[in-house]
Chain A
């Protein structure tokens, strides 16, 4: 096993940041769907791209619906939030209250999924930027659907030979229903180094 991408301490910090972001996203979503939405982040991992793929393949073999958003600032990369077909349909169903008749989501359902994912990802970006006190911009969200490996493959085209992935499984807890999604930040090793620098700076601020 190679050296860990992030030390345990930084993993905890990142996990905490994502947790705060999820809390904000959950509030926005609750307001939007008029029912209580709880978003939780069971675990956070920082791994190499190949390990991430293995991890994802363990989660599902189904085709997925993914929303991607690039981000840049002090560090940059692609953020991806994906749901299995089944989960995305259930999520959309809960949010827009309509049952999509066909197996695949239509354009309008994709758009709803895009907006929900955008809220979550922006909340994460916002939190990281705010807490770490760095600048982080994001591009517009795009939907990519299909085979998981293919979907993820398109994300790392510009991320150098050995992209790294910060990833976390998240769960939407709606009344009577839990829907899982996977949030990932794909970054070049350069960007990770910058992130680590930011984390170091952040820790030193609060170091006793």
Chain B
């Protein structure tokens, strides 16, 4: 047995802050120190003198024996780790609640004493280390997980120090911003995107962070190669354990595409895709803004524009042509007015312009200039060439303007009035304007026409069509008027456009046909001196089979010679309803009636259509005739229509013959007939039976 150790060594042995057991080569426990005894539920006498393997149970007893043998017999030192021999001895863990037994590692060292070999088993408490490492391992797994999340994040993530100097950027940031890790680290986050660098931005972010630890906003960023993109960004302020701001964490999502889509959507919602102009909704909100601010600013003028020939272009050449016309017209309109304006397409062929800071006089001049410009404008589509007119209504926007709806209504009414007055003109809205007050909206004329039909308020007038080349008989064109109830009459220019809009024109046509034929029957012999009586038919009538049959029956049953009856259809109406028009013409011509194509040259200058229409006469549009003396182009138009008409075996009639100069020029050109104030004004029909009709 080991002799009792000397007193100092004994004291040291017991004072050591690790466990020590000495065993001999036969595994017998010779000594245990104080630390070991204090850490175990056994008293010294239960251990000393007993075999190590009797006192303790080991999982790998053989291995421990071998280790002790190596020490005692070969003098080799060994080490037993806690990982491979967890809690080798049942030592109590007095400091931690997490487990009952102490984590320990052991050194097994050979000792020689008194020529005997022993083995010293030295036990160290590694519970704290194990616990710390477990925690560390757990924390580091969590960190690893977070790192993976950050590195695979679909958002760009940048971590900076508290002043914005970049310490980390994730791969997404590298991908989007184009800066490599190395290029980004150490640079100021707020200055990285050089174009977007605004010192105010950094200080405003910092200010926000002082108050609430996070900043959120959308801003533009610039990639390394200078491409601008938009990010939705969160910047968080991280604090250290002393609660002092230590880092900034910026998280960016690239929203360039979303913004583009949103911008496109809002553009589409506020713009007309055809012309690129703003639409009615957007114009309305612009107008509302300006009306709200009208008190502080000079007045504006609102214009409402309606293209006169749009429907014809659309109906004859198709929507493609109509669309192209709108595009071209929108350019012409835009160029004609000064910069300080808002131009919108309200829908169909209607445009609106808000002219800023101007008055009615200047606006009127500008509108008249547009009409002048459009007079020379020709729209070409394949073989066809169209001349275009425009009607414009204008109204003032000032502090008295009630609302945008009201303002648009005023301008629209004024535009309608411009149309009523013969189109291609400007009409200014005035509050006490009787013409407009009377209209009181769109239904006024509809009501008035219905009343006239029911109460028989229509009256027939006739205007002479005078032969220019030889002394033959005079013909008359029947015109319709409404008694205004006060002894006056309302001219057709006021109510016929409304009749067309409200589908009432065929009823007026029927009334005219009825009453004209009735009148002719009643004055059979008194109109021998008349070549023929000409009745206008509207476009709607041409497609009305019932009305055609009615006319057939009426002419057949009356005793009037069909050759005395002539019908006038406008060129635009005929072409818009070409098939029906042909049928209508052919049917009545078979009976012996004659046909004239009215207003020829106004909408279409394509002679190709003439071949399809078996008419007897061409009425040259008065627009060309009235200015033909001063305007060489107009004269050329008159001449060419006349020539073509003659080649096709038609007689020609010039409208708007206002004076002798025109009359003489027409005679020179060989035009067959003339009609106009210079040759004879319209008179009530009864007056034509008398020879006293004054022919100039």
Contact = CB atoms under 8 A, between A and B. Distances in A.
Partners in one complex: yes
Given A31-B60, A137-B75, A137-B110, A115 B144 contact: no
A176 interface: no
A157 interface: no
Contacts of A92: 83
Contact of A118 (B79, B82, B126): B79
Interface stretch (A42-50, A96-104, A163-171, A196-204): A96-104
B78 A122 contact: yes
Contacts of B76: 122, 125-126, 136-138
Given A101-B141, A106-B137, A138-B75, A122 B83 contact: no
Nearest to B140: A101
B130 interface: yes
A141 B137 CA distance: 25
Contacts of B136: 102, 106
Given A100-B137, A101-B140, A111 B82 contact: yes
B194 interface: no
A204 to B, nearest CB: 23
A140 interface: yes
B300 interface: no
A125 B76 CA distance: 8
Contact of B77 (A107, A111, A116, A140): A140
A139 to B, nearest CB: 5
B53 to A, nearest CB: 17
B63 interface: yes
B84 A32 contact: yes
Contacts of A96: 83-84
Given A102-B140, A114-B81, A140-B79, A107 B129 contact: yes
A95 interface: yes
A108 B133 contact: yes
Interface size class of A (residues with CB under 8 A): 35 or more
A32 B60 contact: yes
Contact of A109 (B74, B83, B141): B83
A123 B74 CA distance: 11
Nearest to B105: A111
A95 B83 contact: yes
B75 A101 contact: no
B107 interface: yes
Contacts of A6: none
Contacts of B80: 115
Contacts of B77: 69, 118, 122, 137-141
A129 interface: yes
A108 B130 CA distance: 7
Given A106-B136, A126-B70, A112 B75 contact: no
Contact of A140 (B66, B70, B107, B126): B107
Contacts of B133: 106-108
Contacts of A137: 74-77, 110
Interface in B32-88: 60, 62-63, 66, 70, 74-84
Contacts of B62: 31
B120 to A, nearest CB: 10
A98 B141 CA distance: 12
B329 to A, nearest CB: 74
B506 interface: no
Contacts of A146: none
Contacts of B619: none
A178 B126 CA distance: 31
Interface in A120-142: 122, 125-126, 129-130, 135-141
A153 interface: no
A189 interface: no
A182 B107 CA distance: 24
Contacts of B70: 122, 126
A98 B76 CA distance: 29
Contacts of A111: 79, 81-83, 105, 126
A102 B80 CA distance: 24
A40 B76 CA distance: 22
Contacts of A106: 133, 136-137
A31 B62 CA distance: 10
A115 B137 contact: no
A30 to B, nearest CB: 11
A108 B126 contact: yes
A160 interface: no
Contacts of A129: 74
Contacts of A73: 75
Contacts of A126: 70, 74, 76
Contact of B81 (A100, A112, A135, A136): A112
A115 B140 CA distance: 25
A28 interface: yes
Q: Ordered nearest first, which 10 A-B pairs have the shortest CB separation?
A: A137-B75, A101-B140, A111-B81, A112-B83, A115-B81, A96-B83, A106-B133, A140-B77, A138-B76, A118-B79
Interface of A: 28, 31-32, 69, 73, 92, 95-96, 98, 100-102, 106-109, 111-112, 114-116, 118-119, 122, 125-126, 129-130, 135-141
28 contacts: A31-B62, A69-B77, A73-B75, A98-B137, A101-B140, A101-B143, A102-B137, A106-B133, A107-B129, A108-B133, A112-B83, A114-B79, A115-B79, A115-B81, A115-B84, A118-B78, A122-B78, A126-B74, A126-B76, A136-B75, A137-B75, A137-B76, A137-B77, A137-B110, A138-B76, A138-B77, A140-B109, A141-B78
Given A73-B75, A111-B105, A119-B78, 14 more contacts: A28-B63, A32-B84, A101-B137, A108-B83, A111-B79, A111-B126, A114-B79, A122-B70, A130-B74, A135-B75, A137-B75, A137-B110, A140-B79, A141-B79
